[in-house]
Amino acid sequence: MPFAPPLEDELGDILEKAIRHAGLTEEQLAAATGIGVDRIKDAEDYRYDFSCAELQRLAVALGLNEVGVCAVGEGKYPLPALPPLPFALHTIALPYGIGRVNTFVAENPDTRATLLVDTADCPERLFAAWPGALALPEAVLLTHWDHDHAGGLTGLLHRQPGLRVVAPAERPGVAVEPLGEGDERTIAGFRVRVFRTPGHTAAHNVYHLSLPEGGLETPGVLFSGDLLFAGSLGGAFFCCQTLRREARRVVGLLPPETVIAPGHGPLTTVANERRFNPFLG
Ligand SMILES: [Fe+2]
C-alpha cells in the first residue's frame, strides 16, 4: 500500500497561517476580498463553501498561489508520482494527539545500514511498526526537538545506548552532534547535507539524503520536518516570515525531482510544491 494520508493542512489552516503571515485581521481580509468576515472566520473553523472566484480573491489578497489554494479548497490538491530512489525509504506514521507524525527509515542498498529520521514520541510504538527485515538504526537525525518528533529519543537511547544522534541544537543530558547550515556528513552509508531552517522553532534543520557519491543534483530525499508539508507550511511558532523565506530558499536550491518527506502528511516532490504549494508559488 502506498503511503497516502490526507494533507496535513486543510483550507482553514492555510487561511489562518496566511492571515498571520500577511499581518492582516479577518476584517481587513474581508474588506480586501468582499467576502463576509463571518464566512472567513467560519473557514478558519473548517466550514466553508467558497466559489473558485472567491478562493482566487483570497489567494491574491494573502499573496498565495491561486492554483494551489483553489485545489486545496476543492479537495483536489495534486500529489505527484514519486520518482524512484537509489535506496529504500520507509515511512512510519505514528499517532500523536488527534493527528499523526511521520518518521522515516532509509536503508543503504549496499550495507543494509539504516538511518532513522525523527523518533516520534514512543519507541515502543515505533518498533512495533518497524519493518521486520530492517536492521536497527545506526543513527537518528532530528529535525527539531518538539515532543511529537523527538519525544521518543530518551527511550530509544535506553534501547540503543551510544546511538549517533544528529540534531539542530544541543540538549542537556543527551549526547548529540549539533549540525547546522552547510554541514555534510557520511552517516550509515548516506551523504547527509544539512540546511538550518528556523521558523517553526528557532532550532530546526532539514536534511537532504543521497548516496555518498551523489551530489544535490542526484536523486535524493529532503526530510523537511515541520518546515514544509505537501500543500502547506508548518506552524510558525518562532517566526512566520523566516519560516516562509527558509521554505522558499530550500525548495529553490534542490532539483525538481527531489522527494520531500515531511514531518506530517503525504510525501511530495520539489517540483510539485514549487508549482502548487499555496505559500511557495
Ligand atoms: Fe510536528
Give 11-73's CATH code, choosing from 1.20.1260.10, 1.10.540.10, 1.10.260.40, 1.10.150.120.
1.10.260.40
pLDDT-based confidence at residue 1 (cuts at 50, 70, 90): low
Pairing relationship of beta strands 164-167 and 177-178 according to DSSP bridges: parallel
What's the 150 CA to ligand 1 centre distance in angstroms? 10
Confidence of residue 218 (pLDDT cuts 50, 70, 90): confident
**pLDDT tens-digit series, residues 235-264:** 999 999 999 999 999 999 999 999 999 999
Question: Any idea where the domains of the chain sit in the sequence?
Answer: 11-73, 89-276
Question: What pLDDT digit, counting tens, does each position of 149-197 carry?
Answer: 999 999 999 999 999 999 999 999 999 999 999 999 999 999 999 999 9
Q: What separation in Å is there between the alpha carbon of 103 and the centre of ligand 1?
A: 11
Q: For residue 149, how far is its CA from the centre of ligand 1 (angstroms)?
A: 6
- Give the distance (Å) from ligand 1 centre to CA of residue 101: 7
Lookup: cell for 65: 498561489
The CATH topology of domain 89-276 is Metallo-beta-lactamase; Chain A (3.60.15)
Centre of ligand 1 to C-alpha 69, Å, is: 22
Task: Please tell me the distance between residue 225's alpha carbon and the centre of ligand 1 in angstroms.
Answer: 7
Q: How many angstroms separate the alpha carbon of residue 161 from the centre of ligand 1? A: 25
Output the CA–CA distances (angstroms, integers) from residue 31 to 16, 28, 38, 41, 59, in the order listed.
Answer: 16, 5, 12, 13, 14
Res 214 pLDDT > 80? no
pLDDT digits (tens, 9 = 90+) for 97-126: 999 999 999 999 999 999 999 999 999 999
> What local confidence, expressed as pLDDT, does residue 100 receive?
97
For range 262-267, the mean pLDDT: 98
Please state the rounded mean pLDDT for residues 229-236.
Answer: 97
Mean pLDDT over each residue of the chain, to the nearest integer: 96
Predicted TM-score (pTM) of this structure: 0.96
Bridge partners (DSSP) listed for residue 166: 141, 177
